[in-house]
């Protein structure tokens, strides 16, 4: 088993280029099943979640060919409805394949995703959405069969108490591509990854309106072609490096991602005393002598993103004064807190709210990652801790960060990945 050893104390300086967005890539790779023509997708991060989805595409008959490390050619000339369960349940990103298969084949057999360490991740909104669109949904044990019907609704509402669903929106857009005429999805998620996906869909010939807004209309049953598409930069990786700069009191420039994709996350960090600006295609994080404690609530885009909550929370352990973070999207997404507390953070969690006392010196020790973003947050803690932090369970990090240690090292971090 591999571990990461981080010797804390170095502040980070320099320029880092973020990889392509993992979540955007997952959606766009699934979308290549909509067309029988070849598609070339560039800027795909080399991470394990992507490998799983590529294997799933192959298992339903698509040809997958690496052009370069981050550029992939996919040709789904003929596909079949045979997703293997063991592979399907490995990543949440696989769920979007359902909608693409429905549009292309009129049927999809999928499986209930397993439990997840960031809390319950149901798919009821996906299944209800398919039903509202007029598809038949039946479940036997872990297997869910979705089939097309002759009657389709032209207008559905997808929202829920916690906002909309990102992959659910993607599934509804995909499924609508196979329905004749116009289908309108209200309560659609507005995350930048959905806009990127819609840009790809337009390139292959899908006609749609309202991409990136809560109301998306898709004109289905168009003849689709192939295309080349470059995936947007990973805003969550950019957010992670912003936190790495702030927590080490460094100064870094981040290229490959636009600041507005981080929505209000930047605003509230700036309100806490950071100085993050954008110029000439790069995000500039200036040295911040002292952050102040803040209150923050995770929300759908453009609100404070749940996927940077762990990294921001860790950064706030070094702020002046107490902070309070409430996690609305995944109320149990605090797996990092017990590990940070082993390092001395003294954070308390009450329900969905974490109280972070601030000004807490951290001390290196053995810590165990519980999920993707929690792993990154433990690296950040290690960067500022006294002594050596050893991060275990790196398979979580590898799901979504492409060459994270190399990038941190180039910025001056003292970090190595070795076998235990």
- Residues near ligand EPU (CB under 6 A): 23, 26, 92-93, 121-126, 160, 162, 165-168, 189, 306-307, 329-330, 372-373, 400
Place of tokens 């930047």: 266
Q: Is 66 left (phi over 0), alpha (psi -120 to 50) or beta?
A: beta
3-state secondary structure at position 56: helix
Toward ligand EPU, which CB reaches closer, 123 or 232?
123
Least distance from ligand EPU to the Cβ atom of residue 166, Å: 4
Least distance from ligand EPU to the Cβ atom of residue 104, Å: 20
10 Å Cβ neighbour count for 203?
Answer: 15
5 in Cβ contact with 390 (< 8 Å): yes
Torsion sign across C-alpha atoms 249, 393, 117, 399? positive
Toward ligand EPU, which CB reaches closer, 27 or 343?
27
Least distance from ligand EPU to the Cβ atom of residue 330, Å: 6
Answer yes or no: 282 catalytic. no
Toward ligand EPU, which CB reaches closer, 11 or 176?
176
What is the distance, to the nearest Å, from the Cα of residue 8 to the centroid of all Cα atoms in its chain? 27
The Cα 370–Cα 325 span in angstroms is: 19
Toward ligand EPU, which CB reaches closer, 332 or 386?
332
Least distance from ligand EPU to the Cβ atom of residue 306, Å: 5
The Cα 30–Cα 342 span in angstroms is: 40
Catalytic residue among 116, 177, 198, 282: 116
Q: Is 236 left (phi over 0), alpha (psi -120 to 50) or beta?
A: alpha
User: Parallel, antiparallel, or unpaired: how do β-strands 2-7 and 348-350 relate?
Assistant: unpaired
Of residues 372, 346, 366, the one with CA closest to residue 357: 346
Q: Which residues of 363-395 are buried (b: 16+ CB within 10 A; e: fewer)?
A: bbbebbbbbbbbbbbbbbbbbbbeeebbbbbbe
Toward ligand EPU, which CB reaches closer, 250 or 263?
263
Toward ligand EPU, which CB reaches closer, 148 or 167?
167
Least distance from ligand EPU to the Cβ atom of residue 126, Å: 5
Q: Which two structure tokens, joined as six digits, stand for 149?
A: 């019907």
Q: Which two structure tokens, joined as six digits, stand for 237?
A: 């990786």
Least distance from ligand EPU to the Cβ atom of residue 129, Å: 8
Residues involved in catalysis: 116
């Amino acid at each position: 088993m591999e571990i990461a050893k981080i010797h804390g104390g170095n502040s980070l300086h320099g320029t880092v280029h973020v990889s392509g967005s993992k979540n955007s890539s997952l959606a766009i790779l699934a979308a290549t099943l909509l067309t029988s023509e070849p598609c070339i997708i560039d800027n795909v991060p080399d991470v394990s979640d992507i490998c799983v989805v590529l294997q799933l595409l192959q298992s339903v008959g698509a040809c997958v060919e690496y052009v370069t490390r981050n550029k992939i050619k996919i040709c789904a000339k003929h596909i079949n409805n045979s997703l293997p369960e063991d592979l399907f349940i490995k990543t949440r990103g696989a769920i979007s394949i359902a909608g693409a298969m429905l549009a292309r084949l009129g049927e999809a057999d999928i499986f209930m995703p397993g439990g997840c360490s960031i809390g319950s991740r149901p798919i009821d909104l996906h299944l209800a959405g398919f039903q509202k669109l007029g598809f038949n949904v039946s479940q036997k044990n872990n297997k869910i069969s979705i089939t097309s019907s002759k009657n389709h609704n032209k207008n559905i509402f997808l929202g829920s108490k916690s906002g909309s669903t990102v992959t659910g929106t993607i599934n509804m857009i995909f499924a609508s591509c196979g329905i004749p005429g116009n289908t309108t999805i209200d309560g659609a998620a507005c995350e930048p990854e959905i806009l990127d996906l819609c840009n790809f869909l337009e390139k292959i010939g899908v006609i749609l309106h309202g991409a990136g807004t809560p109301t998306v209309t898709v004109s289905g049953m168009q003849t689709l072609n192939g295309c080349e598409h470059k995936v947007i930069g990973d805003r969550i990786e950019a957010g992670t490096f912003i936190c790495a700069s702030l927590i080490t009191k460094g100064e870094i420039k981040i290229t490959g991602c636009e600041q507005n994709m981080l929505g209000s996350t930047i605003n509230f960090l700036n309100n806490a005393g950071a100085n993050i600006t954008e110029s000439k295609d790069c995000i500039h994080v200036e040295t911040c002598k002292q952050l102040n404690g803040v209150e923050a609530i995770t929300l759908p885009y453009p609100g404070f993103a749940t996927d940077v909550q762990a990294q921001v929370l860790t950064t706030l352990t070094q702020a002046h004064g107490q902070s309070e973070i409430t996690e609305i999207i995944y109320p149990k997404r605090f797996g990092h807190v017990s590990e940070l507390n082993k390092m001395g953070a003294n954070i308390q969690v009450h329900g969905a709210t974490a109280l972070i006392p601030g000004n807490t010196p951290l001390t290196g020790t053995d810590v165990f990652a519980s999920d993707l973003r929690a792993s990154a947050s433990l690296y950040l803690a290690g960067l500022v801790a006294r002594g050596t932090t050893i991060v275990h369970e790196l398979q979580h990090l590898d799901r979504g960060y492409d060459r994270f240690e190399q990038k941190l090292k180039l910025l001056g971090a003292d970090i190595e990945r070795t076998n235990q």
